[in-house]
Amino acid sequence: MISETSIVATRIANCMVLAVPDDLGDDRLSQLEKVARHCAASASLRSMVFDMSALKYADMSEFRELMALADTVTILGIEPLMVGLNPGIIMHWVESGAACGRVRTFLDLADALTALGLTVDGPRP
């Protein structure tokens, strides 16, 4: 487990789960990017899950930076997943014209891990 200020990263098999803090301001977004880069460089990963269940709000500039991070992870051969997004944040992003079609999203971490086949039940059909 890697902990840097408010970013916690936990490896589950060949997947890294990053706990996104409740706020991406005050340099937390750059901390998230730094931890994600470190994890991607130091381990052979199939996927990186951004657990956003603690995130209370996020504006469009933060959304763009999150998508740029997802693009970076994808270029490195790692599938980015987002889980636990607040419905209010989703509505704000959609109303603002955001498109995140290239990132798979799930209601919660359990759903994402099941889809990745990292649970006892295996992958969902």
Q: What tens digit of pLDDT does each residue of 20-79 get?
A: 999 888 889 999 999 999 999 987 899 999 999 999 888 888 888 998 999 999 999 999
In order of start, what are the domains of the chain with their CATH numbers?
2-115 (3.30.750.24)
pLDDT of residue 120: 67
- Chain centroid to CA 99: 16
Does residue 93 contact residue 102 with C-beta atoms inside 8 Å?
Answer: no
pTM of the model: 0.86
